[in-house]
Each structure stands twice: as C-alpha cells, then as structure tokens.
Amino acid sequence: MVASPQTVETIRALAGDYKYGFVTDIESELAPKGLNEETIRFISAKKQEPAWLLEWRLKAFRVWQQHQDHEPTWARVRYPKIDYQDIHYYAAPKSKDRPKSLDEVDPELLETYEKLGIPLREREALAGVAVDAVFDSISVATTFKDKLKEMGIIFCSISEAVREHPELVRKYLGSVVPYSDNFFATLNSAVFSDGSFVYVPPGVRCPMELSTYFRINARSSGQFERTLIIADKGSYVSYLEGCTAPMRDENQLHAAVVELVALEDAEIRYATVQNWYPGDKDGKGGIYNFVTKRGACRGARSRISWTQVETGSAITWKYPSVILQGDDSVGQFYSVAVTNNWQQADTGTKMIHIGRNTRSTIISKGISAGHGQNTYRGLVRVLPRAENARNYSQCDSLLIGPHCGGHTVPYIEVKNRSARVEHEATTSKIGEDQLFYCRQRGLSEEEAVAMIVNGFCREVLQKLPMEFAVEAQKLLGVSLEGSVG
Amino acid sequence: MLNIENLHVEVEGKEILRGVDLVLPAGEVHAVMGPNGSGKSTLAHVLAGHEGYNVTQGRILYRGHDLTAMEPEERAREGIFLAFQYPVEIPGVTNANFLKSAVNAVRKHRGEPELDAIEFLKLARDKLALLRMDEKLLSRAINIGFSGGEKKRNEIFQMAMLDPQLAVLDETDSGLDIDALQVVADGINALRRPGRSILMITHYQRLLNYVVPDWVHVLVRGRIVKSGGKELAQELEAKGYADMIKAAAA
Amino acid sequence: MMNADSSIAIAHDRFIAIAHDRFAEAGTPLGGVRLPWLESLRRDALERFRRTGFPTTKVEAWKFTNLAPLARTDFVEAIAQGVADIATAVVDGYRLTPDCHLAVFVDGRFQPALSDLGRLPAGTRVVSLSQADEADLRLVTAPPAVDDAPSARALVEFNTALMQDGVVVHLGRGAVLDPVQLLFLTRPGAAPRVAHVRNLLVAEAGSSATVVETHVGLGRGVYWTNAVTQVVVASNAVLRHYKLQAEDEAAFHTAATSVRLQRNSAYRAFMLSLGARLARNELDVLLAGENGEARLAGATLARGDQHLDTTLRVEHATARASSDQDFRNVVDGRAHAVFQGRIRVAPDAQKTDARQINRSLLLSPAAVADSKPELEILADDVRCSHGATVGDLDKDVLFYLRARGLDEAEARATLIDAFVGELLDGIEGEPAQAYLRRAFADWTRKGARP
C-alpha cells in the first residue's frame, strides 16, 4: 500500500517549516573566496598560531591538492560538483577580541542563540550545561568555564587550546584522524577555523553535560570546525552537539572533524542532534554535511559511545567510528537518520576490534519519506588479535511513501574465530493496521505517524541525555509530520 | 445510540453486509452472533470507519448523526470505541504515552482541558485498580510480547481510559482460556453503566454467560436473520447455526 | 596494494595480446561458422575488457577478492581438439546417477563419446555450443540480468571475447528433463590452461528441469575455468540448478551465472563450493515477472589456503515476486570465505518479499570470513530482511554433546554436519541431494586426514 494523497500533500505542506532558517544580521569578517596556501596562512595568522600548526595545515593542504579531483564517490549520494574555489574558508563575527565573559558578547549573537533555544545566559545560570557556541567559524562564548577549571577540566575553543595548552593539542590533534585520512578530513585539517576542545584529567567525572552549538550564518561560507576531546585515565565526560543554519538557496559545505581519545577506564559519550538546513521541498539549498568523527578507545576498559539524531542537511555523509584498541574496551553507535523531500543520507559507523574482549553495539534506525534516500553503511572488522570480540548490529529502515529509498550496506570482516558477530536488518513501512489502530483511539494520522516513528527510534532516543531526547522527539515529529497513508 | 439502516458493505468488490438493520438503544448491551464469514468483523470495522470497507447502501446513525463520511479518529473522539479482535503491536511506544495522547485528543475534542502527566497517571491507576490490572501495563510497549489474554485485557483497559459512549467488542472472547475470559468479562461488567451502549460481536455464547446481554442478534450471510432475548444465545449454543444458515440460503 | 594492482595491469596487457592473436588467427568462430554479429560482439567485449582490465580490489564488487595471483599466471588456451583420452570409469566416478542424461566436457571441450545424450525426452535439446544453431547463440547477446559497474564485469567480457565451447540446454514448452548433468573435467597440463566456458539454459513456458553442473579437476595443477552461464526461465517454468565446484586445489574458478525469471516461474539454485585455490561464484537473478520465485542457497567449504567467494545480486524488478537466500560458510585452516549478497527492490516492485541470511563458521585461528549483505530498497510496501553471523561453533552446544559422551572432534563434526546438512535438506530431487551430500561427506573425510 502506498501513501495516500493527503499524506503526500502534508509532506509538501511541511517543507519550509524549518524554524531555524533565519539569518542573523551581523557584520562578519570573511577571508577572500578560494583555497590556496595564502588562505591557509591567512587563517593561521588570524588565529596567531604557532609554526608547527601552520606547517601541519600546509602538509594537509598539499595532500588535499594532490587528491582534489578525487572526492569520494562510494557513498550513495548524488550532488553537483563542489567548486572549492567558490567558498569563503573563514568567516567570523566582527569584534575586536574574543569576549572574556558573556557580557562582552555581541547582543545580536546572544539573541540568535536565544532564538535557537540555547539561552547562553540562562544556561550559565541555571541549566548546569556548559555550552561552547560556535558561530560560523568562531567560538563566541563558552559558559561555565571557571567552575570546570576548578576540577581541572579544560573546556574551551580549540583556538584557545592551541594557545593555552599547546602540549595537549600537539600530542592529540590528528592522532585519531590523521590529516591524510580522507578527502574531507584533509580539507578540514588545512582550513579548520575553530571548534571545541575538552580535556578531562585522570579520575575526574565531569559533573555536567558539555555542549557545543554550531551555527552557520554567513553566505557562501563553509564551516570547518574541529573538535578534540581527551578523557584521561578513569575519567568520564558526556558531550552534546547541536547544529543549525539559515535557509539559503545555495548549498553550503560543512566538513568537520571530531576526534575522541579515551585512555584507560575512561568513558566518553558523544551525542549529536544535527538539524542543519535540509533544503526546501524541491531540494534547493541545504547543507552538505561531510563529517569525519572517530574515537579511539586507547586504554583498557575504555568506552566510547556515539549517539546521533540526523534530521537536517541536504546531504549527510558521516560515519562516527570507534577504534577498539584497549583490551575490554567498548564501542557503541546509536543512530536515527531521517530523510524527507530530497534529502540524502549515507551514514553509519566503523567498529574496528583490535584489543581482546572488545565489544561493540550498533543500532541504526533509518526513516525515509518523500524522495529521501537513506543508506546505512557500516563496517565491523575483527582483527586477528581481538580474541572474544563481540558485535551486535541491528539496522532497521522505515519507508514512508513510494518514492523514497532505504538501503543497508554492512561490511563484516572477521579474522578471529573466537569472535561473534551478528548483524540483522529489516525494511518495512508503517503498517496500515498500526495507523488504523491509533486513529481508532482518537489520534490523527499525523499524530499516529509521529508516535509510531518515535516508537521505532526509541532504543536510540533513550540513549540521549534527557533534555536532548525531548528536543529530538519533537524534531522527528516536525521532520515527518503527516508523511504516511 | 446506534441505528443501522439497510447497511450494505463491500470489501474488495465483494458484498459482505447485505442489508443490516439494527437498533441499539443507549445503555443497553447487545450481542451480535453469527457463524464464520457471516460479516461480524466487517460490521465492527465499518462502525469504526476502516478504509477498506465500502458502504454502498444504507446508513449508520450514531446519536442521530450519519457516521458514514467520518474519519476513524473523528468517530473515536465522538465516543466510539472498537476493541480489536487482533490488537495491533506498536514497537517502542508505551501504553502510557499512547493513551495519554489518545485521552487528550478525545478530551480536547470534547472541550475539556488536557490532562498533564500527573493527572493522567492518577486516572490510569484508578482504572487499573477498577479492572484489577497490573500497573506495569502502562510502561510496556503496546501489545508487544503480550499473551492473547493480555492483549484483550489491554483493550478493555484502553476502553476504560477513553470512556466511550459506544463500545464495539470484536470477538473479545476469542483465544482466551477460561481464567482470562473471566477477567475480561469482569472488566466489561465493571464498565457497564447507564448511557453507555455495548455491542458484543462473538461466535460463541460463552462470553454471554459472564456478560449477560439485553438483546441478541443473529447475523448470517450479511443479514440479521433473527433477534431475541438472551435465551436466543443458549438456543444457538445447543443447536448451532446450521438451521439458520439453511434458512438464510433458501 | 599498489604492487598487486600494477601486476594486474601488466598481466592484463598480456591477456589482451593473446586475445588479439586469437582473433587474428581464426576470428574465433563457434561451430566452424563465422557469424559477423558474433565476431563484432566478441571484438566489442574485448574492447571493454581492454578498457577496464581485470577488476582490482578497488572495484567495490571485488573488494574482498584479489585476482592478482590469477592475473600473474601465464595461461595457455586449453584447445584440446579431438577425443580426450579418458576412461569411462573416471567419468562414472563423478556421474550424478548411472542413467542420467550427461554432457561431458574435458578441458572446456565437449566430448560426445563420453557423453550420454541419446535418450533425451521429447521437446528437449542438449547440444554443445560449438554445434549450436544461430538462433540458440543469439542468447549470448542478452544484457546482464543485473546492473553493475563495467569494471566489475570484466571476466564476463573476457569470456565473451574468447568463449570456445559450452552447452546449450533448451527445454521446449512443457518439456521435462529431470535430471541432466553437465560435467566439466579438467586435466592440469604442463603449462597452466584456461577454458572460457559458455552455457545457455533456456526453459520455455511450463517446462521443468533439474540441471546439475559439476566442475572437477583430474589431478594436481594450475588451470583456470572461466564460466559464464545465461539462464532464461519463462512463465510457469521451473528450473532447479545445482552446482558442485570441486576444482583442483591449485586451480582458479570464476563463474558468473545470470538468470532472468518471467512471470510465475521458479528458479532454485544450490551451490556447493569446495574446490579451487581461488574461486568466485557470481549469481545474478532478475525477477522480471510477477510472482517469480528465486530460492538460492549454498555452502562454501574452505580450508588450507583457499579463497572462496560467493557474490549474489538479486533484483526485484516487478511487484509480488519473492526471493530467499541462505548461504553458509565453513572456514578452516588459513582459508578465506567471502559472501556478498545484494537485494535490490526497484521502484514500484511493491509486495516484494525478500530474505537473505549468511552464516559463517570459523574453525581455526587463521580462518577469515568477510560478509557484505546489502539491501537497496526503493519501494515502500515490501518485506525485506537480511542477517549475517560470524563465529565459532557454539561452546554451550559443544559442551552439551561432550557431556553426552562425544569427544571434541566428534562433537565438532556433528555440529558442522548439522550446519551444512540443514541446507542440503532443502535440495529438491533425491539424486541431486544424495550427490551433493556425498561431495560434502568426501570433503569432511579429507579434512579428518592427519
């Protein structure tokens, strides 16, 4: 059975409902369009970086130059060729110096974050969530810094970390995602402008959620933030990331890199609610989200979990991965990806089992509506030394309407017989009988769809911190409102 | 409450109900009995407004209004409840979450204030106590991993929560052992009240031993062929449907 | 990786040179008749092969299977003309049943004297490709049943360019042929040989057949069988196609089977792959008509240094068709088993029912299994699922059996028997089932050798 005409109409009516699509009117400082060594020197100089970092960027740029005609093509996403010379690689809200406290932050910016539902002031005062807000390429405010500092936790922009904690940055930057890793990561290594940095010292349990909100505002600009989180021995940190962008007819590039390092007995939880502008109902505009996220469980018994709710972006290309080096380390990946209208998502994970008794879990829920195309692509690799490695993967696709697609491409490579690897996947649509049942109890078709989809995603949503879970649930409803028949 | 006049219904082009007439006054409990394939489940689904069932002739008056053009959720909000023969499973959605949305949809429709989480929980606990059911029911995903008996009990619980004017119970006794049947029947009896009409659709008479109907209709080949008091059910139990099928075919 | 790729490139040039010599010499006619369309088809195929070269592991479909060892080998063509000097007793050792219809090929060439095709039922025809008429040969022009990148298809192109012989099985309307065996024997020679075998199986409307295909090496040595089989199952026809790949353990075996299923037809395949140093079994099935049914199963038994690859592509092009894949690997020694299975459901192929399961048992510390089950779904009203598991035998079950008095070796053997036996149970037709059971039992026995 296919979607009823009303359904299709509702989906249409929905497009344009992107409520984060406003533009902040603020003066920005832009690097000239185009990418060459000069651009990189410009960015590095703007940020007053040490020589070693400039050198690192330039090395990355040279690698990228060699491969610039070899954008990866293996993902199931289609988009016109990106002109890498037609992008501003640096855009920053104009202000003399980085604000020392929220009082010094441009009121326009604070208002922007209010509108996004991220009241920086309030959070500092009440919510107990430390926020680093990145506007275009620049970190504009980090809250709760002092309180964290008392515990030895460093939470600041990566530019600041380069200045204040060069030994840590130099030791770990590129240690999980090397500058030559892949096309987009290499580009990021050359031009990254800002991002967040976290270091949790040995034995410290970070008492609050750390959170970064990313916002693209400037026209024709790319955003290339770089996040580095290090959890030292026996420490714990939970980190949240949210993303929005204005509605623009052009496609904007977002190529971020996130590196996580968990040492012995440390745990990092990383959650993302990605709601970049997805483009309009005809597929015009929207963010190209090409992101490399990887964590290394370096120490024994370390744990890294990725939870993502991906509802935005015209194209999503990301595979948050875990390298399970330490014995008894654990990697987890929980994902919800929604594609509606003409959105395309190719997302999944890699779990690389190197150490003994390493365990990984993958739960992926893909939902497609309209002309959306949703691909789960994942790798589970068990290397010869990984005695007793365990993996369980469950990938479910839900299809809404006759023009969308849901695809599952798992790669399973096992080189140790004591491993146990299980993968299951199903594809289905929302049952007519389920819809009728809900409607018989008084729910509208739209409410019924939202409820069934939320149920479908429950295992993943449960992994989000409470405050994000509610936001994510609403987001799912908005992204799919009334999309079934 | 319910007045069905000369109702003809087609499913996939095949006529299943061929002129059903039935009057169910407010506050009464009626049973519709009939052999397999007589159109019992079709009657239940068409009352709830399932899209696969086409009304080709006749009409269904519910509290004086014609139901035929109404969407399923409108009927539900107007107070029609269908207890499904095969309750549907919805993974990941808890009963509590589901019922809170449903109850509030109905309340909103009636112009009553919506219940917040605490008020809802109180109401749910009261109803569970009334029906002597376990509170764990609330946190379980809808009908997932439920036994046949649990599913039917859950239907009765939902009925209690939604407080309908007209409840249609489709084969609520099917697949139940004697203990489960007793629990379900007690639940139904607890929910009998003046002003609420109940239409029990069943193949067997055994549920009627526990929930005694005011009136019994016999549906054969898409028509009500006989109506009478509760003793009609016992007569059917003893003699079976054979005579009536023969009479209907003639 | 770089080295392997460049060695493939060099090898590739050499293969092209040989192929050009062949064209120059004889124009590679089939059946002694020069067919202009066929010659141009061959030249085009060679040109495509020249452009893509041997697939490397950079080609997605060949990610897990490296052809470098094959490409590095200097093959001479297995042009064994005339009557092969092989005793009937040797043939009988591999025969399905003493009285089955039988077509025997030695080193890729049809052997009428060793074959037994005198009692074919009415409406059926089994002839060698070199004796096929032009109408039969036309099937070789059929496009691949399922799309893939040209670079993934290179071996099929190479086969088209150089195919010398093979078999045509033709079932007329309503004809029944049950069973016929196609027996391919290869005698390793002093120099490594290659045979490009092309088979055409056509089941017209309402016909029914069981075809058992056997590939065996007679003695130790390097050779390469490159087989392409094109299958058409017309409406209401049923084709059971069972294959035993038992090439010599020094041999290369690459095979691509392409199946097209019309309305209400059924194709049931079983592949038992246990021979060859490097084998690649590709099976593509296109469900082109409503209510078509493809039931595909197979077991791959790998040990020593074997690399055995099974690659399936099932395409649901119409509504209401069903497909089922159940493939299992048993991997011992330093062997490497690969399973790739793709289910693609085209837009509008509503009510598709497609299932796939791949299970691998790793029996030794150095054994490797790669699995890539893949769903590509473009219609919403479908039921599709896949699953894959990799691991050793269940320790609890092993313990249970040992607690009942079996020693560990017996317990393991029992569980492996059950793992494969379950699949063999699904083979229709007693002779074929018994035949493949024997092959499995032989494999088990060989493994038990100290």
The two tokens of residue A93 are 């809200």
Residues of chain A contacting residue C374, judged by C-beta atoms under 8 Å apart = 407-410
Domain borders along chain C are 2-289, 394-450
Least confident segment among A345-359, B127-141, C356-370: B127-141
C-beta of residue B85 within 8 angstroms of C-beta of residue B170: yes
Is residue A306 over pLDDT 50?
A: yes
Residues of chain B contacting residue A438, judged by C-beta atoms under 8 Å apart = 90, 98, 102
The two tokens of residue C392 are 């050793």
Q: Is the dihedral of CA B134, B139, B145, B151 positive or negative?
A: positive
Say which residue, A442 or A477, is predicted with more confidence: A442
Residues of chain C contacting residue A399, judged by C-beta atoms under 8 Å apart = 377, 379-380, 382
User: How many angstroms separate the CA atoms of C186 and A227, rounded?
Assistant: 60
Q: How far is A457 from chain B (nearest CA, A)?
A: 7
| A82 φ, ψ (degrees, to nearest 5) | -85, 130
Per DSSP, the three-state class of C151 is helix
For residue A73, give the chain C residue with the closest CA.
C60
Judged by CB atoms closer than 8 Å, whether chains meet at C375 and A403 is answered as no
Residue with tokens 């006054």: B25
Neighbours of chain A (3+ CB pairs under 8 A): B, C
User: How many angstroms separate the CA atoms of C207 and B247, rounded?
Assistant: 49
The two tokens of residue A432 are 């007519």
CA atoms within a 13 Å half-sphere pointing along the CA-CB vector of C102: 23
pLDDT at res. B183? 87
Beta strands (DSSP E) in A343-404 are 344-353, 359-369, 373-382, 390-400
B220-250 pLDDT tens trace = 999 999 999 989 988 888 888 888 888 777 6
Residue with tokens 């714990």: A236
User: How many angstroms separate the CA atoms of C378 and A403, rounded?
Assistant: 7
Contact: chain B with chain A (3+ CB pairs below 8 Å): yes
Q: How far is A96 from chain C (nearest CA, A)?
A: 50
Mean pLDDT of C212-234: 96
Say which residue, A12 or B211, is predicted with more confidence: B211
Judged by CB atoms closer than 8 Å, whether chains meet at A410 and C378 is answered as no
Judged by CB atoms closer than 8 Å, whether chains meet at A401 and C380 is answered as yes
pLDDT at res. A223? 81
CA distances A319 to A75, B59, B191, C186, Å, are 11, 57, 54, 47
- pLDDT category at A485 given cuts 50, 70, 90 is very low
pLDDT at res. C83? 64
Cβ-nearest to C380 among A400, A412, A419: A400
Tell me, rounded to whole angstroms, the distance of Cα B225 from its chain centroid.
21
Residue with tokens 């150095």: C366
Q: Residues of chain B with pLDDT > 70: what percent?
A: 100
pLDDT at res. A10? 34
Residues of chain B contacting residue A459, judged by C-beta atoms under 8 Å apart = 92
Q: Which residues pair with C239 in a beta bridge?
A: C209, C267
For residue A413, give the chain C residue with the closest CA.
C370
Per DSSP, the three-state class of C12 is helix
The length of chain C is 450
- pLDDT category at C295 given cuts 50, 70, 90 is very high
Using a cut of 0.90, tell me whether the model's pTM lies above it.
no
B38-63 pLDDT tens trace = 999 999 999 999 988 999 999 999 99
- pLDDT category at C388 given cuts 50, 70, 90 is very high
For B2-88+164-249, which CATH superfamily applies?
P-loop containing nucleotide triphosphate hydrolases (3.40.50.300)
ipTM for this prediction: 0.91
- pLDDT category at A99 given cuts 50, 70, 90 is low
Mean pLDDT of A235-242: 90
Is residue A4 over pLDDT 70?
A: no
Identify which of A391, A319, A394 has the alpha carbon closest to the alpha carbon of residue A363: A394
DSSP one-letter code for A225: -
User: How many angstroms separate the CA atoms of B120 and B114, rounded?
Assistant: 9
Which of C380, C393, C396, C415 to probe the A interface (max A CBs under 10 A)?
C380
pLDDT at res. A194? 82
Q: Residues of chain A with pLDDT > 90: what percent?
A: 51
Domain borders along chain B are 2-88+164-249
Triad B88, B92, B93: Cα angle to 5°: 65
Mean pLDDT of B188-209: 91
Cβ-nearest to C385 among A409, A416, A426: A426
Contact: chain C with chain A (3+ CB pairs below 8 Å): yes
Is residue A97 over pLDDT 60?
A: no
Is residue C70 over pLDDT 50?
A: yes
A119-139 pLDDT tens trace = 555 444 444 456 666 665 566
User: How many angstroms separate the CA atoms of A173 and A230, rounded?
Assistant: 10
Is residue C348 over pLDDT 80?
A: yes
User: How many angstroms separate the CA atoms of A287 and A309, rounded?
Assistant: 16
Query: Residue A462, exposed/middle/buried by CB under 10 A (0-12, 13-18, 19+)?
Result: exposed
C-beta of residue A335 within 8 angstroms of C-beta of residue A431: no
User: How many angstroms separate the CA atoms of C55 and C49, rounded?
Assistant: 10
Residues 6+ apart with CB under 8 A from A442: B73, B76, B77, B102, B103, B105, B106, B109, B162
Instruction: Tell me, yes or no, if C398 comes closer than 8 A to chain A by beta carbon.
Output: no
pLDDT at res. A119? 52
Is residue C248 over pLDDT 50?
A: yes
Residues of chain A contacting residue C362, judged by C-beta atoms under 8 Å apart = 414, 416-417, 419
Identify which of A111, A96, A94 has the alpha carbon closest to the alpha carbon of residue A27: A94
Which of A346, A350, A417 to probe the C interface (max C CBs under 10 A)?
A417
Return the H-helix or E-strand segment holding B104: helix B95-110
| C280 φ, ψ (degrees, to nearest 5) | -135, 115
Query: Residue C450, exposed/middle/buried by CB under 10 A (0-12, 13-18, 19+)?
Result: exposed
pLDDT at res. A335? 96
Triad C422, C423, C426: Cα angle to 5°: 100
Judged by CB atoms closer than 8 Å, whether chains meet at A427 and C377 is answered as yes
| DSSP H helices in B49-177 | 72-77, 95-110, 117-131, 148-162
- pLDDT category at A108 given cuts 50, 70, 90 is low
